[in-house]
Each structure stands twice: as structure tokens, then as C-alpha cells.
Amino acid sequence: MAEALATAMNPKTVGLIVAKQMTAADLMGPAEVFSRAKFGRTDQPEGREPCCYRVIAIGIDRASCVTECGIVIRPHVDLEHAPPLDTVFVCTGDGSDGEKLSRKLVKWLKQRAPNTRRVAAVGRGIYPVAKTGLLDGRKVAAHWRLANDVALRFPNVAVDPKALFTKDGLFYSCAGGASAIDLSLSLIEEDFGRQIALNVARELVVHVQRSGEQEQYSEALQFQVQSCDRFANISTWILCNLNEDLSVETLAHKACMSPRNFSRLFKAAFGKAPADFVAAVRIAEARRRLEAPRNSIESIANSVGFRSADAFSRAFEREVGCRPSTYRSLLRLNAKEDLTKHQSKVPQSWLACA
């Protein structure tokens, strides 16, 4: 409570690095998420709750930036006049501003990183952050279009072309676009807890707060991309009704087909039976929900459509290779080991908030 009140009086400062020809979504997603994170207090009029963060746009120079879609961004300050920052989001870095400005940004990142609590690369922002050498030996997420190029240019960086976002020590990275929202929500949860993060997700009408381990090209998205008209809305309906009856008969009725014909066409189109697809989606969502320690295994089982915790555990083990309780224990163990490993290597000034 004391920490929350202190932050309300002095919000954490998030700096978003901008430049011309950047992707507007890489900037506006984090900007909206952090600016809407607030402490709910009953003694405050609606819309005047204390903010968790102060968000500023930082230009490499003082010039306005025209994004790829034509929106003009006017930075609050340039690199030279940027204030102390708690978190830096690098939202640009394809070299469109020229080599001179690129070198300027890389130099600034090297100088600022030791006194910044965390640095995040969004989409093409992975390039200037990787150029600093700070990501050598670390795992990063990269947009699937950029992954091969990033891996070739920075061989000392471990590139994951599938993850939505990653965390390695004090450095974060994401694929860009909608994944920048997912990353921002996860940072809010780190700072102020799950409830405030979920409040922001609800405010922005986000369907689900995704974890970094989820794939950029998800199974549900693959289904939608490949589906014909009669299957077009089935995957979305499944995701929204995981705790409902998702039998072949129910799905066939939604598609206005007979169960036999539905099963035959579904498997011919996607190489997977409807029941297998439903099971995979249920387990994928269960893995995400297991990350929240307050969710009991029994409640998770019920929420994704299993009649009992035992049936859920057996299905989970078939899909993942271990029981849900073991999976959750491994998540906690890995988190503790990661924190201990990096805290032992990092100066204390890195761990202090700006």
C-alpha cells in the first residue's frame, strides 16, 4: 500500500523512442496501455484516479516523425533532454532516419541502460538495442518477418521467431503490433499486480491478456486464415466458449452441417479432427491461466471445459508432457532462478527505479 501511494505521488516514467517511418501501432499500443494504468480509489471522481505511469515520446532529434501510415508524431523531448526513465521502449530502428541518427540512438542506449530499470525493444526496435551489444547471449523475440535478418546480423543474440514477447534479465522484446500491448500489460502486472493490468485490458476491450510464450501465428489464427466460409467463425466461437459443450455435434450445428460431414471436411481442410483442435486450444489457454498463482487447478479445469481436475490433468499431461501441478512448479522455479541469476550479475543501480 505504501509503495502504491508513493507511486501515485511520483508515477514511473516510461519513455517511448520514436522516429520517422515507424509503425504507429508499436508506439500507440504501449502509450495507451501505460497511460490508462491507474489506482482505483473510491474517494476520487471518475477519470481522476492517480496514474501509475507518466508517458513521454522521445525523438532522436527534435523533428516531428511521420509514421508509415502517415500519422505525425511530435516528440515531447529529444534524446539529449530526456529525463531519468524507469522504462525505455525502443519503438523504431529500421535505419530510415539515417546512419548518423542510428549511431546517436545506439550511443544513448549504452549510456542510459545502466541507470534504467528495464529496456524493451518493440518490433524493429530490436535493431538499435542489439547494436549496443547489451543483448549478446540473451533470448529475444522478433517479428517473424525480421527474425532471420536479426539472427544473421546479430549472431550472438538468440532469436525466437515465434514468441509474442520475451524477458531476459532487464531486457524485454516483442514482435510489435498487438504484442506490444501484451508486453505492456505484463509489465504493469509486474509493477502493480494482476488486477490493475486486467483493468487496463478491460478498458481497452482486449479479448485476453496473452503470455509471451504464446505464438505469433497462433493455432486459432492459422485456423481462421485457412478456413473456408462455413468454418470462418468457428475458432472464435470456440475461444469464447471453452467451458461450454464443444462436441462435434455442437460445432457441426454452428456450421449448419451434419456431424459426419463436418468432421470429414474439417479434417480434410486442416489435417486435424475437431476434437483434437478443441483439446489443443483448451490446454493452450490452461497453460496461460496456470501462470496466475491464485487460480486453483480445479478452477482452471472447469473454466476451460473439463468436468474434473483429474480429467484435466490427464489431458494436460498428454499435450504438454507433465501434470499441471508440475508445470506450475517449474514456472515458479524458472522465475526464481532467472531473478537470482541476473541480480547477481547486475549493479544495484540497475535495479533502482529512475
Q: Which residues of the chain have pLDDT under 50?
A: 1, 41-43, 339, 342-354
Distance of CA 335 to the CA centre of its chain: 17
Q: Which domain range does residue 45 map to? A: 7-203
pLDDT the model gives residue 349: 40
Which stretch of DSSP H or E encloses residue 13?
strand 12-18
Residue 90 lies in a domain: yes
Q: Which of 173, 203, 233 is the last residue of a domain?
A: 203
> DSSP string of 28-67?
HHHHHHHHT-B---TTS-TT-PPBSEEEEEEESSSS-EE-
- Supply the pLDDT for residue 350: 38
Residue 349 belongs to a domain: no
Domain assignment of residue 170, yes or no: yes
Q: How far apart are alpha carbons 72 and 327 in whole angstroms? A: 46
> Which of 203, 229, 244 is the C-terminal boundary of a domain?
203
Nearest partner of 63 among 51, 50, 77, 46, judged by Cα? 77
What are the cell numbers at 270?
A: 486442416
Whether residue 247 sits in one domain with residue 283: yes
Give pLDDT, residue 228. Answer: 54
Whether residue 250 sits in one domain with residue 194: no
pLDDT digits over 15-44, tens only? 999 988 888 888 999 999 999 999 864 345
| Contact by Cβ (8 Å): 88, 116 | yes
Domain of residue 269, CATH code: 1.10.10.60
138 and 258 in one domain?
Answer: no
pTM: 0.68
Q: What is the CATH number of the domain that holds 136?
A: 3.40.50.880
Q: What angle separates helix 219-226 from helix 274-290, to the nearest 10 degrees?
A: 150
Assess whether 118 and 257 both reside in one domain: no
- pLDDT tens column, 50-80: 899 999 999 988 888 888 888 899 999 999 9
pLDDT value at position 148? 92
Residue 1 lies in a domain: no
The predicted pLDDT at position 330 comes to 86
- What span, in angstroms and rounded, lies between the C-alpha atoms of 316 and 327? 10
pLDDT of residue 68: 84
Select from 154, 172, 203 the last residue of a domain: 203
DSSP 84: P
Same domain as 227, residue 166: no
Whether residues 229 and 190 share a domain: the answer is: no
For 193, counting Cβ atoms within 10 Å of its Cβ (0-12 exposed, 13-18 middle, 19+ buried), the class is exposed
Tell me, what's the pLDDT at 185? 92
Structural domains in the chain (count)? 2
In a domain, 105, yes or no: yes
Asked if the structure places residue 2 within a domain, the reply is no
Q: Are residues 138 and 266 in the same domain?
A: no
Task: Name the burial class of residue 339, with classes exposed (0-12), middle (13-18) and buried (19+) by CB atoms within 10 angstroms of its CB.
Answer: exposed
